Structure 1
């Protein structure tokens, strides 16, 4: 009798543990695929940074863990402990089935959810890049004359080890060479893996298929390594440099290989800095062993093979100090990333100097007779009319001209601000107090799109549909009604409208009408047909304009275009 009770106790313990573990794994996979992934995509569509998304999503994951333990203890105390054996076995069998189904679904990379996130296959003479290959893909590669496969999957990641084992078994049957060069998906010490790739390029001229799981992030690093070794851009990176990081705005300069921004998060070091082709990082942080951020920057750049230069700035920097930094990065013959911890006065002065070769100087907003003026970067000051004495003071901090917008219509204000932008002269914009916020909004839109990561776009609505924020200076939305060219495009300071259209469904009348409405208000507009490889026209056009880009297309095409843009 005692042995029977002991056996039952161990059986119950085994059933409880089986239920807990299989529910955790199987249910966790389906929770990830059908809850976490769609929720994360919603946040991505809203323009949230990955740093912010990760901080939110960890609570969903933690919530699932808590749910799993609660469910298992309820199972134990309400069912197992009360010897309800039929229900007990049904729950265990159900959770085991759920686990098996989840593992099968997740490891089957041909399912729709995984395929929707995969990168495109990029072919070259020696190397072809893409996502994880199934057995039929490997057979096709062998028939096409490939000598082997380079897998970047990392066996230390639990979800990737079964895929790697499956791949090893498949290549043995097909007689393909498999070269394992494990890499971590995000920041990490991948230097040994990168060195192995360099040696491989020099050792032979065999043809390889290179892949990670999705065929996006890690393969892009290898593309970059191969380009560096071959001394050209043999393998193009389908990548659009962002304008927003977790800690602030990122400023790009179309005519120069320079970026200015905040201290990157762990993920951003890989996806924004390394993947963006940066060869040198210039840090404005205090250069001391006690500064953990400076130490981290040195460590990360060393792991990624990026040069590091410390150019610490004083607490109250002068124009000469900032110009010294700008002269250094402009003289570089490679891509440079300049960072503080968060964007500050030095960042904005450097941005203005690089872009306009002139800047306003100062940290505190200057006060004129009727109140404080407001900065727009270090390119504009906006406020009420200053006295002659105050104008002298303003000229001393870099103001080159005074532009009076008081009493003008919205269209005239937009036109004047756009003219000043093209002149590239730091200016003091005069406006009445009650119009100051509106004028600032137009100015910010024309110069930067947004200075808050585009958060103000989240509540924006248009008649056709709600616009989708991609970056601080990139919105995707429906065709504008005639009145929206003023109530939206002029008010928000849209610097450029890009009309994406389908040659087979969009009428010539629609294209002409859009061009007329934009041009009569002085808004730049370009039309691009939705044909194969239209990103070759679209991405350079977006990256040539730091102000607010509005991509508009017909409502039924919005989901297609949105999915396409997210790939870059």
Structure 2
């Protein structure tokens, strides 16, 4: 549903409704069935119908297990040292032995009962009969600590010889984590995929506009995807396999609301042989120069990468995501619009360019108070600097260590705000000169990019 543009909230509501309907219908049918069986005096119905129901359930389970097995599928190329795919059938194990494979590495986990518990035992016997070494490196098919499993695989990689078939049940998610680990341990290792599984890998590449649980993924140029905080399934599908690059978190470890999310995310990555780079952009107090430094560091990181705040860029409630994109594109210390939703005492201010906000004259305590916490460090009075209000504001700002200047000409204003900042402009000529800044340096946020080959200007 997400691939078709349905929102995460709608998808979740549909899934919950479907589960509720299934539970209600199952309870009603079970109640009706039990009453009919208990009322009958015919033994063939009293014992035969429940036995039939159990038998049909067993057939369905058996069909699912058989269809999940890999069967006799060919590799995408021959000669690989590690080949990744789905659970192998008995015939496939015999084929692997005939092709010179040394063993199989099974990622199936005994906790996934009854399916994988049974398959582990069957494969162990069949592999040994075929002369293949059976190596068990169990991984759960959801986010979990896989350190022990990865250490087992590491031992195989460090042997430096032999060919191995690595598999989970369906050959989709767990094998992608194992593949990433093998390639990190030995970038020169020969890698092969069972035919058909490569397409699944391509489908798990991030793309601009895809919907995650907490919002939309946005491509911002230079191989950078900006996402919201990942949900558990999104770690497994898009991040732990490493195909989308390293992950940078913009959350602030000094913020009580952010700390548990950072700790949980770090635990997930460390348990899967990865590192989380935490480059916080604090939002209270906010400093545009910090955002500029973070954007510059991530921009210089080679290859594709994933950057996330907690909420998505298009939520309008993610100052750190906005600041990151503004800094990335402007090269200036930015003012995120999400920090200016709440009005000042004399009215609402708005961000008209990446590093410029326009608004009413601040109250005395807002210069070094509210506006300073929102990242404003410099003020431009649009009007005669000799006005009484201007002289009062100038004295107040200089006393607080803030930059203040008066401007009446458009050219002077544009020259000033084109450098440094962040700036707050106000005064009697604001309605006249403010739009000039917006046209010359705006908008506050860059126009969204859709070409994923594009770079950041």
Normalised by the shorter chain, which TM-score bucket? 0.5 to 0.7
Counterpart check, 1:241 vs 2:206: yes
1:182: Cα distance to partner?
0.6
1:266: Cα distance to partner?
0.9
Counterpart check, 1:145 vs 2:119: no
| Counterpart in the other structure of 2:385 | none
Counterpart check, 1:285 vs 2:252: yes
Q: Deviations over 1:191-243 (max 9, x none)?
A: 21112211210024110111111112111111111111123585486442233
| Equivalent pair of 1:246/1:265 in contact (CA under 8 Å) | yes
| Counterpart in the other structure of 1:132 | 87
Cα-Cα RMSD: 4.0
| Equivalent pair of 2:335/2:351 in contact (CA under 8 Å) | no
Q: Against the structure 1 CA distance between its residues 193 and 289, is the aligned structure 2 distance closer, same or farther, given a 3 Å change threshold?
A: farther
| Counterpart in the other structure of 1:266 | 232
| Counterpart in the other structure of 1:250 | 217
| Counterpart in the other structure of 1:526 | none
The 5 A counterparts of 1:110-125 are: 125=80
The 5 A counterparts of 1:395-544 are: 399=438, 401-402=439-440, 426-427=442-443, 447-448=448-449, 543-544=452-453
1:276: Cα distance to partner?
3.6
Counterpart check, 1:306 vs 2:347: no
Moved more, 197-206 or 166-175: 166-175
| Equivalent pair of 1:287/1:312 in contact (CA under 8 Å) | no
Give the whole-Å Cα distance in 2 for the aligned partners of 1:49 and 1:226: 36
1:376: Cα distance to partner?
11
Q: Against the structure 1 CA distance between its residues 393 and 120, is the aligned structure 2 distance closer, same or farther, given a 3 Å change threshold?
A: farther
More helix by share: 1
Give the whole-Å Cα distance in 2 for the aligned partners of 1:218 and 1:316: 41
Give the whole-Å Cα distance in 2 for the aligned partners of 1:188 and 1:395: 54
| Counterpart in the other structure of 1:452 | none
1:254: Cα distance to partner?
4.9
SS at match of 2:112: coil
Counterpart check, 1:160 vs 2:116: yes
Counterpart check, 1:342 vs 2:311: yes
| Counterpart in the other structure of 2:379 | none
Give the whole-Å Cα distance in 2 for the aligned partners of 1:126 and 1:241: 28
Structure 2: unaligned runs, 5 residues or longer: 192-197, 313-317, 358-427
Give the whole-Å Cα distance in 2 for the aligned partners of 1:204 and 1:233: 9
The 5 A counterparts of 1:329-408 are: 329-333=298-302, 336-343=305-312, 344-355=318-329, 357=331, 361-363=335-337, 364=340, 389-390=430-431, 392-393=433-434, 399=438, 401-402=439-440
Moved more, 238-247 or 351-360: 351-360
SS at match of 2:67: coil
Give the aligned length: 358
1:89: Cα distance to partner?
3.5
Structure 1: unaligned runs, 5 residues or longer: 1-42, 382-386, 403-424, 430-442, 450-541, 547-568
Give the whole-Å Cα distance in 1 for the aligned partners of 2:442 and 2:38: 75
| Counterpart in the other structure of 1:325 | 294
| Counterpart in the other structure of 2:402 | none
Q: Against the structure 1 CA distance between its residues 74 and 122, is the aligned structure 2 distance closer, same or farther, given a 3 Å change threshold?
A: farther
Q: Against the structure 1 CA distance between its residues 301 and 335, is the aligned structure 2 distance closer, same or farther, given a 3 Å change threshold?
A: farther
Q: Against the structure 1 CA distance between its residues 121 and 110, is the aligned structure 2 distance closer, same or farther, given a 3 Å change threshold?
A: farther
SS at match of 1:327: helix
Give the whole-Å Cα distance in 2 for the aligned partners of 1:253 and 1:124: 39
SS at match of 2:151: helix
Give the whole-Å Cα distance in 2 for the aligned partners of 1:51 and 1:125: 43
SS at match of 1:109: helix
> Larger RCO: Structure 1 or Structure 2 (Cα < 8 Å, ≥ 6 residues apart)?
2
| Counterpart in the other structure of 1:566 | none
| Counterpart in the other structure of 1:222 | 178
TM-score (norm 1): 0.54
Q: Against the structure 1 CA distance between its residues 378 and 122, is the aligned structure 2 distance closer, same or farther, given a 3 Å change threshold?
A: farther
Give the whole-Å Cα distance in 2 for the aligned partners of 1:53 and 1:138: 40
Counterpart check, 1:189 vs 2:155: no
1:84: Cα distance to partner?
4.5
Q: Against the structure 1 CA distance between its residues 122 and 198, is the aligned structure 2 distance closer, same or farther, given a 3 Å change threshold?
A: farther
| Equivalent pair of 1:348/1:377 in contact (CA under 8 Å) | no
Give the whole-Å Cα distance in 2 for the aligned partners of 1:131 and 1:427: 50
Q: Against the structure 1 CA distance between its residues 392 and 194, is the aligned structure 2 distance closer, same or farther, given a 3 Å change threshold?
A: farther
SS at match of 2:141: coil
2:128 to 172, 182, 197: 172
Q: Deviations over 1:472-493 (max 9, x none)?
A: xxxxxxxxxxxxxxxxxxxxxx
